Structure 1
Amino acid sequence: MNVTPLVWTITIAVTIAFFVYEFFAHVRKPHEPTIGESARWSAFYIGLALLFGVGIGVVADWRYGGEYFAGYLTEKALSIDNLFVFLIVMAGFAVPKIYQQKVLMIGIVIALILRGGFIAVGAALIENFSWIFYIFGALLLFLAYRQAFSSHESDPSKGRFMTFVRRHLAVTDEYHEDKLTVRKNGKRFVTPMLLTIVAIGFVDLIFAVDSIPAIYGLTEEAYIVFTANAFALMGLRQLFFLIGGLLERLVYLAQGLAVILAFIGVKLVLHAMHVNELPFINGGEPMLWAPEIPIWFSLLFIAATIAVATVASLIKTRRDPGKADRDEVRGEQVTAAKDADTERSGESRR
């Protein structure tokens, strides 16, 4: 796939333009998005992503179109998994709902920048070291195991990283609208808003380690990797408000993602065997007998896994009233924390 510097420049410029528009049109003025607003913009960004994939298939080749769609599905599923942690972070810091858009927007931009850096590094490694596929494959198999047994109940706002940040920065106990820092009695303090953004940025860094090796297992084209990631992150803010209540019901999403990561890990190892150059493996000769998993099968497998995980989750939570009760209690606790924090913010402004 031959992508000229001009195409790269236009793509990056358009991506930046979308995020700038998002900020000035929706995020700059603090408000809680309605369901209708979130649904319309979510549909727009998903439709745009699908249309772009069709364009790649028509202009370049449907092989690349298939790689894009497989990568987009994988990155979208991983991005929704990000939302679980974002939800916990904002609950832990009791971020008022009208300011959550700004936190999400900044977090998504940080995620795109971090992933862009990982994409560039990954492309350079693949170009010069074919054995990196062994590393990526082993990493994804490990991450799949960790994902399968992970818990979203841990609160990053109380983790070691944030404890370190709090120890070295002067932090206010209350929000001051959406300001990141505030001056009190002649001294500069950071607000919980800044801590929330730092926590989400740290989470983004961890998730980028999962994301980039996974999509490089589906395509070696850096352009497809970047655009699939960009479109997966576009509309994520609206999706957060649209399916916020549904997130708690996707109890098998982590296991579904573990299956996808393990599948891509195996695919990477098989590809590494096919292009093997390591002298201590098969005498440095490629193992051409190793099967290559076609992209059409990868696309079907990923889509089917996401569908099964979603349907199974909804069936499970519908039949488990205890889970629903726990979710309701957790929701009430989060709401109470946010209301208390909002009251403190109002008192501080007065």
Structure 2
Amino acid sequence: MDVTPLIWIITIAVTIVFFVYEFFAHVRTPHAPTIGESARWSVFYIGLALIFGVGVGIVSGWTYGGEYFAGYLTEKALSVDNLFVFLIVMSAFAVPKIYQQKVLMIGIVIALIMRGIFIAVGATLISNFSWVFYLFGALLLFLAYRQAFTHGDSNPADGRFMRLVRRVVPVSEEYNGDKLFARIDGRRFVTPMFLVIVAIGFVDLIFAVDSIPAIYGLTQEAYIVFTANAFALMGLRQLFFLIGGLLERLVYLAQGLAVILAFIGVKLLIHALHKNELPFINGGDPFKLIPEIPIWLSLVFIVVTIAVATVASLAKTRRDARDVRPVDAATDTGDDR
């Protein structure tokens, strides 16, 4: 894929412009967005991402177009999971709703910066060391296990890292609007809003470790990796307010993502065998008995897995709600007697 430095500069500049516009148009003045506002902007950003993917397919070929769409879907799903953790953090810190937009905006910008750094590092490693595919594959299999069996076991707002931050800096008890610092009795304190931003940044770092190896398992084109991540993060703030209630109903999202990460991990290991240069594996020669997984199959697998996880989640929560109602009714009747 031929991407000139000028295209890179334009792409990064346009991405920055979008986020600057988001801040001044929607986030600078604290308010809780309406469902209509969130829906319109979510549709706009998703439509923009789809149009860009079609453009990639037309200009550079549908192999790259397929890689972009597979990467975008994977990153979008991981970003929704990221939103769920953001929700946990903001609930734990009781962030007022009118300030949640600012927290989300800062968190998304930090996520983009973190992923940009990881993208650059990943591209450098891949171009110089073919064995890194083994490392990425093994890492994704480990992350898939963690995603499936340890998701949600810890509270990011009350972990060891946050306790360390509280010991190092003095923290005020109450919010001071959306400010990060406050002066009380002549002493300077950080507000709970500062802790929220630190927690969100730490979460972003963890998710970048999940995200970047996953998309490099679908494409080795750094430009596709960056644009898929950028479009996945654009509109994420509006999506949070649009599907806020739905997030808690996606009970199988973690398991669905675990399946996707495991699939990409296996794909990476197969690719590593095809690129093999390690002397202790097959004498340093490529191992091509197992065919590589084509991008169209990856795309279909990702779409089907996300769809199954979503439908199964909604069916389970609907069934659980239906089972709870008769029990509540029976309890109320017993109490009345």
| Same fold per superposition (TM over 0.5) | yes
| CA distance 1:57–1:133, change in 2 (3 Å) | same
CA distance in 1, matches of 2:262, 2:277: 23
Question: Residue deviations 1:11-69, cap 9 Å, x none?
Answer: 00000000000000000000000000000000000000000000000011110000000
2:260 alignment partner in structure 1: 260
Amino acid at match of 2:21: Y
Matches of residues 1-16 of structure 1 in structure 2 within 5 Å? 1-16=1-16
Per the alignment, in what secondary structure is the counterpart of residue 305 of structure 1?
A: helix
Q: Distance in 2 between matches of 1:176 and 1:153?
A: 31
Taking the aligned partners of 2:195 and 2:49, their CA distance within structure 1 comes to 32
Partner in structure 1 of residue 157 of structure 2: 157
Partner of 1:24: 24
Q: Structure 1's 324 and 206: CA in aligned 2 closer, same or farther, altered over 3 A?
A: farther
Going from structure 1 to structure 2, the CA distance change for 1:153 and 1:141 (only over 3 Å counts) comes to closer
Q: Which residue of 1 aligns with 2:79?
A: 79
CA gap 1:18/1:324 in 2 versus in 1, 3 angstroms = farther
Opposite residue 79 of structure 2, the aligned amino acid is S
Structure 1, unmatched stretches of 5+, are 326-350
Match of 1:211, as an amino acid?
S
Q: Is the 8 A contact 1:317 1:324 kept in 2?
A: no
What is the CA distance between 1:182 and its match in structure 2?
Answer: 1.2
CA deviation map 1:235-266 (0-9, x unaligned):
00000000000001000000000000000000
Count how many residue pairs are aligned between Structure 1 and Structure 2.
325
Letter in 2 for 1:44: F
Distance 1:324 1:317, change over 3 A: farther
Counterpart check, 1:290 vs 2:308: no
Task: Note the 1:176-191 alignment, pairs <5 A.
Answer: 176-191=176-191
| Root mean square deviation of aligned Cα | 1.1
Secondary structure, in 3 states, of the residue corresponding to 2:183? strand
- TM-superposed CA distance for 1:321, in Å, is 2.2
Aligned-residue offset at 1:150: 2.3
Residues 176 and 191 in structure 1, CA contact (< 8 A), matched pair in contact too: yes
Show structure 2 runs of 5+ residues with no match: 326-337
Per-residue CA deviations over 1:287-314 (Å, capped at 9, x if unaligned) read 1222110000000000000000000000
The residue number in structure 2 matching 1:329 is: none
Report % sequence identity: 80
Instruction: Give TM-score, length-normalised by structure 2.
Output: 0.95
Q: CA deviation at 1:185?
A: 1.9
Equivalences for 1:40-189 in 2 at 5 Å?
A: 40-152=40-152, 154-189=154-189
Which position in structure 1 is the counterpart of 2:279?
279
Matches of 1:16 and 1:134, distance apart in 2: 34
List, as ranges, runs of 4+ consecutive aligned residues in structure 1 with deviation greater than 4 Å. Answer: 322-325
CA distance, structure 2, for counterparts of residue 246 and residue 258 of structure 1: 20
Instruction: Letter of the 1:293 partner, please give it.
Output: I
The alpha-carbon deviation at position 186 of structure 1 amounts to 1.8
- CA contact 1:88–1:153 (8 Å) conserved in 2: no
Matched letter for residue 201 of structure 2: G
SS at match of 1:320: helix
**Partners of 2:285 and 2:123 in 1: CA distance:** 23
* Aligned counterparts of 1:308 and 1:134: Cα–Cα separation in 2: 29
Asked if residue 233 in structure 1 is aligned to residue 221 in structure 2, the reply is: no
Distance 2:10 2:152 in 1: 38
Offset at 1:152? 2.1
Please tell me the residue identity of whatever aligns with 2:135. Answer: I
Name the CA distance, whole Å, in 2 between partners of 1:153 and 1:34: 32
The offset of 1:155, in angstroms, is 1.8
Aligned to 1:244: 244
Shift, 1:154, TM fit = 2.8
**In the TM superposition, what whole-angstrom CA distance separates every residue of 1:143-175 from its partner, at most 9, and x where no partner exists?**
101111123253211111010000111111000
> Secondary structure of the equivalent of 1:90?
helix
